[in-house]
Structure 1
Amino acid sequence: MIKKKFQFIYITALVSLLSYSCAQSQQVYKSPKGYDLNKPTKYKMPDDLLEISGISFSKGNPATFYAIQDEEGKLFYGKLGADRVSHSKFGKHGDYEDVAISGNIVTVLKSNGKLYTFPLNQIAEVELTNVQEQQNLLPSGEYESMYADEAARKLYVLCKNCDDEKTTKSSSGYIFNIQPNGTAQAAGNFKIEVKQIKKLTGDSKIKFRPSAMAKNPVTKEWYILSSVNGLLVVTDANWDVTATYDLDHKLFLQPEGLAFDKQGNMYISNEGDEFSRGNVLKFTYSGAKR
């Protein structure tokens, strides 16, 4: 009788453990209205984009995506889901983090704050010659997030970790006017208050480290990724944080790029590793209103 009693306890405990593990594996993550962060369409990237670090579209058209990766000064472009993509060389080896397109101007952000601009209509060239390098526009620090507002012809850059700020308090952002020749002219700044993120996440020790940003063309809100924090942050037009969303690491291995198409569908790129290829996840916008 005692033996059967222990067998019953053992089986009960095992069933409970398996049920708990199953529940954990099926955890549903909260999503912004109009999206489901649990059910993306996945596009695997070719080997050249294992370390994809930034993505963009021209005029919100998803027929062609444009991307960069961490180590090579090349702009990659092609169709999502294709086995191969084309590329055009614009610079030497370096840590390139984001790409933005405004009209015929392509801007690439290097982690040290340097900007590289060149004409979009010349990328059929294997090696670009009409490239402008702009430096000393941003304070010393580490940068990974950039967005171009084509309608306003403005460029937004958000610091990941700057020397003139404390990441426990705020993340500094900088606004530039995009000149017809592609150069950036200082036009203001903004801040993301980390205390607002702390309040919504419940994490009083968080150090916010943005890795990508984009404006939602439908809701006009700002969406900001932080790969280190495994977090998606949403702000209103005035940069006040309105929501935060935890990201499932099994889906978002290393989210480094963010873009929207003109229909409001959201695309998040993830770097790969020795076991997984880089990918782009598409989250279809359902049209839900806020």
Structure 2
Amino acid sequence: MKNQYTRIGTVMSWLLAGLLIFGCNSTQKEAELFRGYDLNKPEKFNLPESLFEVSGITFDKGRNDTIYAIQDEDGKLFRLAWDVPKQLHTKFAKKGDYEDLAIVRDRAYVLKSNGTIFTFPMSEVYYEEPQGISEMKGLLPKGEYEGMYGDETTGELFVICKNCAGDNSKNSVSGYVLKAGPDSVITQTGGFAINVDQIKAITGKVARGFRPSGIAKNPVTREWYIISAVNQMVVVVDQQWNVKDAHHLNGNMFIQPEGVAFDKAGNLYISNEGDDLFSGNVLKFRKSGR
């Protein structure tokens, strides 16, 4: 009887261990999904050399047949088809530090790092030198800006600070709401702030402060996705700008995440500048059906 009980105990131990392993693996598998996106399994588009320093990407009305992009040295707006390493472009300004772009109601908007915004009609993107360009200065307080999102429905532009004089990035990061009106007139209509303590509550210490490099709104959940190359992080906030989630990005995959966008189906795209070993790229993460 003793041997029989010993064998039963051994079998039960094996079964328990197996259940624990299975449970851990299941939990681990679930943890790989960040708000419905498997950030370990992207579709990758290696960009042409002209976009080695890609700094921003967007879509027109959420249509993913064309990726619109800029890089942070040339005043050019690029357009590409997915996984076709041939780009066409229009030159809207001289060399400078251009960080993000948005398309709203058939106009393109390009953000310079000092807060200046260039705008011109989308009908002009097919020409090497577009007409009807407006350069808007003094719309934003002095600072460094890298992230901008355009809302097609409201006609608003949302610009977030990377490093602004009025902020302490270890505590709070400011953003501004601009209204794009007729005749390319842009006015500031409001603002918002990200509470960095709410990020810390999820991820722990944010040693260098939170320094955003891109912002986009998920068309399905209406949540904001804010990425930071400095922090190697993506942060999700709700429509009241409260932090809901945060996730550290794998540095081997996300070389230097500078741009973020969604297509109308809710698929997530993150662009990365290149380095000594890798070209610039765009990573696509399909929205999970679960």
TM-score between the two structures when normalised by the length of structure 1:
0.88
The residue correspondences of 1:209-288 to structure 2 (distance < 5 A) are 209-288=211-290
The residue correspondences of 1:42-81 to structure 2 (distance < 5 A) are 42-81=44-83
| Residues in 2 aligned to 1:114 and 1:61: alpha-carbon distance in whole angstroms | 27
| Residues in 1 aligned to 2:89 and 2:68: alpha-carbon distance in whole angstroms | 9
Match of 1:4 in 2: none
Q: Which runs of 5+ in 1 are unaligned?
A: 1-26
Q: Which runs of 5+ in 2 are unaligned?
A: 1-28
1:116 aligns with 2:118: yes
Question: What is the aligned counterpart of 2:86 among 84, 87, 100?
Answer: 84
Which deviations, in whole Å up to 9, do the C-alpha atoms of 1:239-275 show, x marking residues without a partner?
A: 0001000100111000000000000000000000121
Question: CA separation of 1:223/1:126 partners in 2, compared to 1, >3 Å: closer, same or farther?
Answer: same
Task: State whether residues 29 and 248 of structure 1, in contact with CA within 8 Å, keep that contact through their aligned partners in structure 2.
Answer: no
Report the RMSD for the aligned CA atoms in angstroms: 1.6
Which deviations, in whole Å up to 9, do the C-alpha atoms of 1:11-32 show, x marking residues without a partner?
A: xxxxxxxxxxxxxxxx997442
Cα deviation, residue 206, structure 1: 4.5
| Residues in 2 aligned to 1:154 and 1:38: alpha-carbon distance in whole angstroms | 33
Match of 1:32 in 2: 34
- Counterpart residue type for residue 145 of structure 2: Y
- Counterpart residue type for residue 161 of structure 2: C
Cα deviation, residue 183, structure 1: 2.5
User: Counterpart of 1:198 in 2: which secondary structure?
Assistant: helix
| Residues in 2 aligned to 1:208 and 1:124: alpha-carbon distance in whole angstroms | 37
Cα deviation, residue 145, structure 1: 0.4
Match of 1:198 in 2: 200
| Residues in 2 aligned to 1:231 and 1:144: alpha-carbon distance in whole angstroms | 15
| Residues in 2 aligned to 1:204 and 1:233: alpha-carbon distance in whole angstroms | 12
Cα deviation, residue 87, structure 1: 0.4
Task: State whether residues 124 and 131 of structure 2, in contact with CA within 8 Å, keep that contact through their aligned partners in structure 1.
Answer: no
Match of 1:7 in 2: none
| Residues in 2 aligned to 1:273 and 1:200: alpha-carbon distance in whole angstroms | 30
| Residues in 1 aligned to 2:149 and 2:184: alpha-carbon distance in whole angstroms | 14
The residue correspondences of 1:169-208 to structure 2 (distance < 5 A) are 169-203=171-205, 205-208=207-210
Question: What is the aligned counterpart of 1:167 among 162, 166, 169?
Answer: 169
Aligned-residue identity in percent: 50
Match of 1:127 in 2: 129
Question: CA separation of 1:164/1:117 partners in 2, compared to 1, >3 Å: closer, same or farther?
Answer: same
- Counterpart residue type for residue 181 of structure 2: Q
User: How many residue pairs were aligned?
Assistant: 263
Cα deviation, residue 103, structure 1: 1.6
Question: CA separation of 1:63/1:249 partners in 2, compared to 1, >3 Å: closer, same or farther?
Answer: same
- Counterpart residue type for residue 276 of structure 2: E
- Counterpart residue type for residue 82 of structure 1: V
TM-score between the two structures when normalised by the length of structure 2:
0.88
Match of 2:4 in 1: none
